Structure 1
Amino acid sequence: MNLRHLKYFVATAETGQVSRAANALSISQSSVTSAIKELEISLGAELFHRSSHGMELTDSGREFLAASKEILEKVDEACRLTRRRSETSGVISIAATYTVLGYFLPYHLDRLSQLHPGLEIQLHELNRESIEDGLLANRYDMAVVLTSNLNNPEIETETLLKSSRRLWVPNGHRFSRVGKASFEEISKENYIMLTVDEAAHTAMKYWSLTNFRPKTKLRTSSVEAVRSMVANGQGVTILSDMVYRPWSLEGKRLETVSTDIEIPTMDVGLAWRKASDFSSPMNLLHNYFKRSFLSPQFTQYTART
């Protein structure tokens, strides 16, 4: 295993298709495919489910993705040690929703503080409605939110990450043995409904496209409560990969399963008041996230590996 294997694997995981990864890396599709096969043989584990929709990470793949990103980021950090840090300074007020603050922002806040020590970030956790009001009233410069929940025409958005939603089941559940579940079958199971960040409203929107309804056993705003309930066999749920972890706080395992109907992704990104004049701190934040996501982060390793 080498950095090339990790780079190609991360590219495929983040784009969801070998062809997109190859285009981003300016290499052939066969090079990406061969590298992933070599990596799977080396690890003795299947990292992707291959389907007509593209490449979907297995549970092993999700765990390995986190480790791969950490390795590549450490390499990049080591290469930056002798570089001059940004002299940009200033204050920026950022609003964020619960899910974004808990499962997306912490790593990037730490990285921003290392790259731009003169930048002061004032962070506020709010719900979507309060964030929209705050952006329009200029109480906040920018927001990091679930852009899939926003539809205010006065607010500009830029999506950075699309996180697939899948069915969560306890380890060894009959759905995981089959490899796919229909909404008809899911409707017969007890369902644990997450409510935070409009998750329940979003869920009912895609459930409404079927002829079935979830048999809700519990409604909760706690992702960890949902995780524990599922892992302990108390029900199933549909949530995004961004908040997925294959074990509960008690150490019990859970798995993810694809569904017969494609579920809309949970999209994460930036938001700001339309026609805003970007300050230097706003430009810095916007450019940081664009480099990290819209220009695939793995391309920074191309010249060195």
Structure 2
Amino acid sequence: MSLTLRQIRYFVATAEIGQISQAAIHLNISQSAVTTAIKELEAMLGVQLFVRSAQGMNLTDAGRHFLNRAYVIVRSVDDALNSPLPDYRASGVLRVAASYTVLGYFLPHHLQRMEHWHPDVSIEVFEQERQAIEHGLLNGQFDMAVVLTANLTHADIVSEILFNSERRLWLPSHHPLCERGAVSLADVAQEPYILLTVDEAEHSAMRYWEQAGQTPEVRLRTSSVEAVRSMVANGSGVAILSDLVHRPWSLEGKRIETLTVTDPVMPMSVGLAWHRERAFTPAMQAFRDYFHDAFLAPQQLSARR
């Protein structure tokens, strides 16, 4: 028996969702197909990947180890299928600024792909806060930036959204709210809350809290996403953060669940930014074209369908 991509995808979906029934719905297949794929994987690897219980499917230590390898496989296949092919060979130096969240959870993978497709473009990356990024774009210190576009304030900076990452409630496994399909901010306000502050996250969060007429019961303010992850997983509180930074497991190996919030909660928008009057160099155009092909072109194709 040989390993198949189908088995890998079914395993990843079950590991992330924690239930075969919900994974099957997500994949639009039968539960038996998911169960069979997991059994085939376990037989092939000679280890148990999940502990089955009435509450769902929990990864074993071997399962968590294999999940990391499975992510690499899925990403490699997706890259092979979706990698944009450049129409020209751009060259030059490109100075790119990025905020903490973008650099930590999004950009490195795409920088690697850019270097592969445009080896003659030398990319210099600078991690900065939003205010410093805006200043650097305006005075020519940076050519372009990859940022959380909703945070931008200066009228002379043009932005282009690449994708929106939904914000959802993070909560520990077996929390009573997990039994619901969705929750309101009024429900969340009854729980101890872990508030992320990095990249102006507190400012963004308070906008939708105030719009709903609610106030979170903040137990801790922190600039560390990993601190939020561990605090939530350990049952010390809940948080509302984007899918971009979500991982189903904390550093301690404890599961983190997510729920949709019924009140309006604006997504986290990630995109490109540059000075309105900046003339595009070949390197800048290659950078923009790469992200356009990777994100905007697939969205436009999907919309036409």
TM-score, shorter chain, exceeding 0.5: yes
Which residue does 1:51 correspond to in 2? none
Which residue does 2:240 correspond to in 1? 238
Which residue does 1:159 correspond to in 2? 161
Offset of residue 169 of structure 1: 0.3
Which residue does 2:29 correspond to in 1? 38
Cα distance in 1 for partners of 2:270, 2:237 equals 27
- The answer on whether the counterparts of 1:92 and 1:281 sit within 8 Å (CA) in structure 2 is yes
Counterparts of 1:182-201 in structure 2, within 5 Å, are: 182-201=184-203
Q: Which of 85, 88, 91 pairs up with 2:90?
A: 88
Q: TM-score, normalised by structure 1?
A: 0.75
Q: CA 1:84–1:244 in structure 2 vs 1: closer, same or farther (change >3 Å)?
A: closer
Cα distance in 2 for partners of 1:140, 1:259 equals 37
- Point out the structure with max Rg over C-alpha: 2
1:214 aligns with 2:220: no
Offset of residue 43 of structure 1: 2.5
Offset of residue 115 of structure 1: 1.1
Which residue does 2:254 correspond to in 1? 252
- The answer on whether the counterparts of 1:94 and 1:142 sit within 8 Å (CA) in structure 2 is yes
Which residue does 2:76 correspond to in 1? 70
Counterparts of 1:169-188 in structure 2, within 5 Å, are: 169-188=171-190
Offset of residue 297 of structure 1: 8.1
Q: Which of 198, 201, 204 pairs up with 1:202?
A: 204
1:278 aligns with 2:284: no
Which residue does 1:144 correspond to in 2? 146
1:276-304 per-position Cα deviation (integer Å, ceiling 9, x unaligned) = 210000000000000000011897xxxxx
Q: TM-score, normalised by structure 2?
A: 0.75
Q: Which amino acid aligns with 1:181?
A: V
Cα distance in 2 for partners of 1:240, 1:184 equals 19
1:163-221 per-position Cα deviation (integer Å, ceiling 9, x unaligned) = 00000000111111112112112111100000000000100110001222001000000
Which residue does 2:121 correspond to in 1? 119
Counterparts of 1:45-60 in structure 2, within 5 Å, are: none
- The 10-residue stretch of structure 1 (171-180 or 101-110) with the greater mean CA deviation from structure 2: 171-180
Q: CA 1:287–1:84 in structure 2 vs 1: closer, same or farther (change >3 Å)?
A: closer
- The answer on whether the counterparts of 1:85 and 1:116 sit within 8 Å (CA) in structure 2 is no
Q: How many residues align?
A: 254
Cα distance in 2 for partners of 1:224, 1:298 equals 34
1:120-154 per-position Cα deviation (integer Å, ceiling 9, x unaligned) = 00110000000001101111000000012113211
Q: Secondary structure at the match of 1:275?
A: coil
Q: Secondary structure at the match of 2:193?
A: strand
Q: Which amino acid aligns with 1:139?
A: Q
Q: Which amino acid aligns with 1:135?
A: L
Offset of residue 70 of structure 1: 3.4
- The answer on whether the counterparts of 1:169 and 1:236 sit within 8 Å (CA) in structure 2 is yes
Unaligned runs of 5+ residues in structure 1 are 7-33, 46-59, 300-305
Identity of matched residues, %: 44
Q: Which amino acid aligns with 1:294?
A: L
Offset of residue 161 of structure 1: 0.9
Q: Which amino acid aligns with 1:185?
A: D
- The answer on whether the counterparts of 1:291 and 1:297 sit within 8 Å (CA) in structure 2 is no
Unaligned runs of 5+ residues in structure 2 are 10-24, 37-58, 60-66
1:34-93 per-position Cα deviation (integer Å, ceiling 9, x unaligned) = 995237763359xxxxxxxxxxxxxx9xx899864432224567xx9xx99963221010
Q: Which amino acid aligns with 1:271?
A: A
- The answer on whether the counterparts of 2:82 and 2:294 sit within 8 Å (CA) in structure 1 is no
Which residue does 1:295 correspond to in 2? 297
Cα distance in 2 for partners of 1:255, 1:35 equals 16
1:10-42 per-position Cα deviation (integer Å, ceiling 9, x unaligned) = xxxxxxxxxxxxxxxxxxxxxxxx995237763
1:265 aligns with 2:256: no
Cα distance in 2 for partners of 1:185, 1:121 equals 46
Q: Which amino acid aligns with 1:194?
A: L
Which residue does 1:102 correspond to in 2? 104
